Amino acid sequence: MPPATTGSRRRMSYDDRHAQLMEAARDFLGREGVDALTPARLAEHAGVTKPLVYQHFGTKAGILVELYREFKGRTYDKLDAAADAAAAEGSAATLASTAQVVADSYLDCVDEESAALPGVSGALSGSAELEQLRQEADVAFSTRCKAALLPFATTGDVTDAAMQAILGAADGIARAYILGTVSLEDGRTTLARVVAAVV
């Protein structure tokens, strides 16, 4: 995309520019793949100067971290919306239906991002940034799952051990789906069973 002409150029707010660059980064990954991504290539693709990309992200790892964080944020938003819808059912909600909501929300987001996410997480593999992001993601996902599942906990609590089992199953099934060894439907059903079994 060529840069705007001088006559039509206007200064964007930092947040608007960041959103534009994130959209351009997602588009670039879909077209070129993660290996081709550099701050300079992103600047060219977005029609902006290289210093602007460096100001927003710093490095290639910085771009990938932002993309990963954005993906996780969408996962949480979807889980929150689904949990709110389940809560609105009141007494009609069951452990099985709520477990299915958790499984569907998680794996549907993986499905939506399956083209980009493996490359992003793979490119960050072994980095301190990815480890920190995964820890943050685990805490956020666990908090939401606990809130959704707590009304059905027979002991009055969803233990940390139970959450680790759910997280492990979710991660493993997501990877298997991305690799094509399990279908999305089988993954949803199996993850829901795991969630319900450990509560």
Same domain, 45 and 107: no
Query: Which has the closest alpha carbon to 102: 118, 117, 112, 87?
Result: 87
pTM of the model: 0.73
- The answer to whether residues 82 and 137 belong to one domain is yes
Contacts of 190 (CB under 8 A, 6+ apart): 169, 173, 182
Note whether 165 and 147 are same-domain residues: yes
The predicted structure's pLDDT at residue 119: 76
According to the model, what pLDDT value does residue 7 have? Answer: 42
CA–CA separation, 19 and 46 (whole Å)? 11
- Give the C-alpha separation, 93 to 122, whole Å: 38
Domain assignment of residue 112, yes or no: yes
Has residue 76 been placed in a domain?
A: yes
Shared domain for 37 and 110, answered yes or no, is no
pLDDT at 115: 62
Residues sharing a CB contact under 8 Å with residue 43, sequence separation 6 or more, in sequence order: 49, 50, 52, 53
Task: Classify residue 144: in a domain, yes or no.
Answer: yes
Query: Do 106 and 162 have their domain in common?
Result: yes
Same domain, 49 and 66: no
User: Which tokens sit at 102?
Assistant: 């958790």
pLDDT tens-place values along the chain, 199 residues long:
544 444 445 688 999 999 999 999 999 988 898 899 999 999 999 999 999 999 999 999 899 989 888 888 887 887 788 778 767 776 677 899 999 989 998 898 888 777 656 678 777 777 787 778 888 888 888 888 898 898 899 888 999 999 999 999 999 999 899 889 999 999 999 999 999 999 9
**Residue 5: its pLDDT value, please?**
42
Q: 137 and 190 share a domain? A: yes
| CB distance 163 to 135 below 8 Å | no
Q: 20 and 77 in one domain?
A: no
pLDDT score at 36: 93
The structure tokens listed for 36 are: 């081709």
91 and 117 both lie in a single domain: yes
Residue 172 maps to which CATH number?
A: 1.10.357.10
> 99 is in which domain, residue-wise?
61-198
Residue 7 lies inside a defined structural domain of this protein = no
Question: Looking at this protein, which amino acid is placed at residue 146?
Answer: K
69 shares its domain with 112? yes
Q: What is the pLDDT of residue 186?
A: 98
Q: How far apart are CA 162 and CA 175, in angstroms?
A: 20
The alpha carbon dihedral of 131, 134, 136, 142 has a sign of: negative
Domain boundary among 57, 73, 88: 57
- Total count of domains within the chain: 2
Task: With H, G, I as helix, E, B as strand and everything else as coil, classify residue 93.
Answer: coil
What pLDDT was estimated at residue 170?
94
CA atoms within 13 A on the CB side of 99: 25
Q: Is residue 69 part of a domain?
A: yes
Predicted pLDDT of residue 28: 93
At 41, which CATH number? 1.10.10.60
36 and 132 both lie in a single domain: no
> Do 36 and 66 have their domain in common?
no
Give the integer Cα–Cα distance in Å for 123 and 137: 18
Run of H or E residues at 56: helix 50-57
pLDDT at 123: 78
DSSP conformation letters of 100-112: HHHHHHHHHHHHH
Burial class (CB within 10 angstroms; exposed 0-12, middle 13-18, buried 19+) of 105: buried
